[in-house]
Structure 1
Amino acid sequence: MSQPRILLAGATGAVGSEVLRLLRERGHFVRTFSRSAKNAEKIRPLASEVVLGDATRAGSLGEALAGIDVVVSCLGANVALGMSERRSFRDVDVAAHANLLEASLRASAKRFVYLSAHPGPGYDHTRYIRAHVETEDMLRASGLSCSFVRPTGIYSALGDLIDMARMGFGSVAGDGTAKANPVHPICVAEAMVSVVEEGPEFVTVGGPEVLTREEIMRLAFDVVGKKPRIMHVPPGVFRFWSAGLRLPHPRLSDMLEFVAAVMTTDSVAEARGTRPLRPWFEALARQ
C-alpha cells in the first residue's frame, strides 16, 4: 500500500520543522504550506514541494490540497509575549483551519492531524484554549478522520525565561508552586507523526519532568549563571492587563489571560516526552 501524500501547514515552526524532518525520513511526500517566503526557503531543500499563502485568507490555498490524502497542521498564532501581530487566537487559528478544512473536503482528503493544546482544568476557560477546542470541534464535525495532539506546553514557548534570566530579573504569576511538565518540540512532532495514518482522536503529550513554575524560572537562571531574582506577580495583575488590552491588542490580551491561569494551575499530562528541559535552555543560552 502506497504512503499517503501529506500537506503540512506551519512547517517552519518549532514543531512543524521537526514533523517535516521525521516525515521525509520515513519517505513521505510532503507539500508544505507557509505564509513567510523567507522562512519557507529554510525548509525548501527538505520538502517535496513548497506552497506559499496565508491560510486565514480563503482564496490563498489555491491548489495546495490537490492530490493530498492527509493534512497535518502545526499552524497557529504566535504565543511570544513580544508579538507584533494583534489578531486574537480565535481570529487566526479558527479562521485558518476553517479554510484548510474547506479546501481539504473539496480535495477529498481523508484525514486531518491537528496540533492543539492541553485543555487542563483551571485554564480551559481561557480564550487561547477555547480557540484550540473550537478548532477541534469544527474538524470533528466535518466527518474527516482526525487526531488532535495536545501538548501541555512546548519548550519553544519558554524562551522568554532565558531572556529574563540574562537580564537578571524574572517573574512568575502567583506563588510559583503550580506544576507543569512541558515537552520538547521533537517529542510533540514524534507524537504527531505517529498518528498520521491512523490513531486515537486525542493524544496528550507531556514532558518527562514535573517542575513547579518557580523551578523552571530558577533553572533558566542557573543555565545563564546568574543569581535568581524572582518577582511573584499576583495573577490579578495579568488579568488587569489582559482586560485593558482586549481592544487595542487582542492577541496579547488573550495571552496574558492564559498566563494568569496556566501559571497558577497544575498542567501535567502523560509523560510521552523523553527529552529534559535543561539542554534546551542551555542551547538557547549559547545563542
Structure 2
Amino acid sequence: MEKVLLAGATGYLGSYILKELQESDYAVKVIVRSPEKLPVDIKNIEVIEAELTKPATIKNCCHDVDYVISTVGITRQKDDFLYMDVDYQANKNLLLEARRSQVKKFSYISVFKGQELKNLKMCAAKERFVEELKNSGLDYCIIRPTGFFSDMADFFKMASKGRIYLFGDGKFKSNPIHGQDLAPLCVLSLQQKEQEIIIGGPDILTQNEIARLAYNALNKEIKITHLPDFLRKFSLFLVRTFTSEKFYGPVEFFLTVLAMDMVAPKRGEKHLKDFYDELAQK
C-alpha cells in the first residue's frame, strides 16, 4: 500500500484532506505540532509530533513515504513566526526530507494569482517555495484555490454586527471553494499529470451578492456601506508603515484581493449560501 505524508492536517483544508485520505487506499502519516487537535474519529494513521520550522524534529519523516501533501502556511497569525519562516522555510525543510527519501510526488497548496501578488508578504513566501519545488527534481503539483469558504466568514461576522463595509462598488467577483470540495482534488493530484491546478467553487459571486447571502442567512435587513477605494489604499499604507509584518500580513492580503476578480474554473458542489445558513444555525 502506498503511503502519503500530510503536513498541515489540523488546518481548515488539511482536516478535509485527512478525512479524504482515510477513505482512500493510501496509508497515512501526518506531521502535527499538536496531536490533540486531530479529529477524534481519525484512526489508523501514523502521527509524527514535530515542528517543520525545526529541521531536526522532522529528520527521516519521509522514510517509507511515496507522496507528500503540504497545506502548511500562515493564515491567521498567532505565533512569532513570519511568512518566510513558515510558508517558505518550513515547507523547504519538508521538501529536503522528501528529496532525501526520493518520494514520487509533492503536492503543495498555494494561492490563486500568487505569481502576480509577489509584492505581498504572504505570496512572496509561498511563491519562493513554489520555485524551490519546481527546481527540486521531484514530480510536483501546485494547487491554487481562489479562496476558502472559511475566509468568507468575515462577511458573515460583519453582517451579524449589523453592517457590511465594502470598498468600491462591490462588483468584484470571486468563487471561493469549500474545503470538502477541494480535498478530493488534492488527493487525486498525486496520481494526475497536471503540475498546476487552478480551481474555484461552483458559484461566481460579486461582493455585493456575498454580502446579501450573509444577511439572508441571518434574516436581517441588508445594510451595505460602500467606501471609496482610496480608503482601502490608505489603510494598506497605514498598516504597512506603522505595524509589524506579523500584524499586517493577513490584512495586506485581504485588502489587496478585495480590489480584484478572483475567479477560476468552477468545481465542487458546496454552495456559499448553505455555508452561511449553517453558520446562522450555530
Distance 1:161 1:36, change over 3 A: farther
Whether 2:1 is the aligned partner of 1:6: answer no
Counterpart position of 1:69? 66
Aligned length: 279
- 1:173 Cα shift? 2.9
Distance 1:169 1:95, change over 3 A: same
- 1:266 Cα shift? 0.7
Q: Secondary structure at the match of 1:150?
A: strand
- Does the 8 A contact of 1:235 with 1:260 survive in 2? yes
- Does the 8 A contact of 2:87 with 2:122 survive in 1? no
Distance 1:216 1:90, change over 3 A: farther
Distance 1:166 1:244, change over 3 A: same
Q: Secondary structure at the match of 2:180?
A: helix
- 1:198 Cα shift? 3.2
Whether 2:93 is the aligned partner of 1:89: answer no
In structure 1, what residue type is equivalent to 2:247?
L
TM-score of the superposed pair, with normalisation by structure 1: 0.90
The 1-side partners of 2:124 and 2:168 are apart by: 23
Q: How much is the aligned-residue C-alpha RMSD, in angstroms?
A: 2.0
Distance 1:229 1:187, change over 3 A: same
2:134 to 123, 129, 140: 140
- Does the 8 A contact of 1:8 with 1:71 survive in 2? yes
1:162 to 134, 156, 166: 156
Whether 2:265 is the aligned partner of 1:270: answer yes
- 1:122 Cα shift? 6.5
Counterpart position of 1:37? 35
- Does the 8 A contact of 1:238 with 1:256 survive in 2? no
Q: Deviations over 1:248-268 (max 9, x none)?
A: xx1331222222221111111
Q: Secondary structure at the match of 1:226?
A: coil
* Structure 1 unpaired stretches of 5+: none
Q: Secondary structure at the match of 1:160?
A: helix
- 1:200 Cα shift? 0.5
Q: Deviations over 1:165-187 (max 9, x none)?
A: 11112222332111111111112
In structure 2, what residue type is equivalent to 1:69?
D
- Does the 8 A contact of 1:12 with 1:34 survive in 2? yes
- Does the 8 A contact of 1:173 with 1:259 survive in 2? no
Counterpart position of 1:149? 143
1:50 to 19, 35, 47: 47
Distance 1:44 1:100, change over 3 A: farther
Counterpart position of 2:221? 227
Overall identity of the aligned pairs, in %: 30
The 1-side partners of 2:126 and 2:260 are apart by: 19
- Does the 8 A contact of 2:72 with 2:86 survive in 1? no
Q: Which shows bigger deviation, 214-223 or 202-211?
A: 214-223
The 1-side partners of 2:203 and 2:115 are apart by: 20
Whether 2:199 is the aligned partner of 1:201: answer no
* Structure 2 unpaired stretches of 5+: none
- 1:118 Cα shift? 0.6
